[in-house]
């Protein structure tokens, strides 16, 4: 999965991972990935060994899940983005994420983010995103 790009089909809304421009596996619509910028997310390992998946939200839209110690690249056009990650929430009350806002511009085409779980006390399930550099990211 690490060498793939994640996108959401504009016609049927299916989230999938591909190596480049490809047809949607569900509705067969040809999807061309935007060449403008990339958001690269890294789900850091937890000191407590918690391995459940985290949901990825970009501008409020669910864009799939990211597993334990995993990296994904999401192609995006230039613009302003609000990215948030949180643990899968079945009760809609226990889990939350703290978002991070940034701009993808011609001078800032690739944004590296790492997600970590805040552990100030027992039972805290808050996920924070931190800006990172290419050297801090897990190798693809």
Q: What is the pLDDT of residues 49-98, one digit of tens each?
A: 555 778 889 998 888 888 888 888 888 999 999 998 887 656 555 667 78
Q: How confident is the model at residue 2 (pLDDT cuts 50, 70, 90)?
A: very low
DSSP-derived secondary structure for the chain: -TT-EEEE-TTT--EEEESSSEE-TTT--EEPPPSSEEEEEEEPPPTT-----EEEEETTEEEEEE-TT-EEEEEE-SEEEEEEEEE--SSSSS-EEE-EEEEEBTTB-EEEEEEEE--SSTT--EEEEEEE-GGGSPP-
pLDDT (0 to 100) of residue 66: 85
Domain spans of the chain, in order of start: 38-136
Whether the predicted model's global pTM rises above the 0.85 cut: no
* pLDDT at residue 122 greater than cutoff 60: no
Dihedral sign for Cα 87, 51, 16, 21, please.
positive
Q: What is the pLDDT of residue 135?
A: 85
CATH of domain 38-136: 2.60.40
């Amino acid at each position: 999965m690490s060498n793939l790009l994640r996108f959401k089909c504009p016609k049927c809304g299916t989230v999938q991972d591909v190596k480049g421009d490809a047809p949607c596996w569900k509705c067969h619509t040809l999807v061309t990935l935007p060449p403008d910028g990339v958001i690269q997310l890294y789900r850091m390992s937890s000191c407590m060994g918690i391995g459940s998946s985290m949901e990825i939200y970009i501008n409020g839209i669910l864009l799939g899940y990211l597993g334990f110690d995993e990296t994904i690249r999401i192609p995006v056009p230039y613009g302003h983005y609000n990215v948030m990650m949180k643990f899968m929430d079945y009760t809609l009350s226990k889990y939350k994420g703290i978002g991070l806002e940034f701009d993808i511009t011609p001078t800032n085409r690739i944004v590296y983010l790492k997600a970590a779980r805040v552990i100030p006390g027992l039972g805290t399930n808050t996920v924070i995103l931190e800006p990172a550099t290419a050297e801090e990211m897990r190798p693809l």
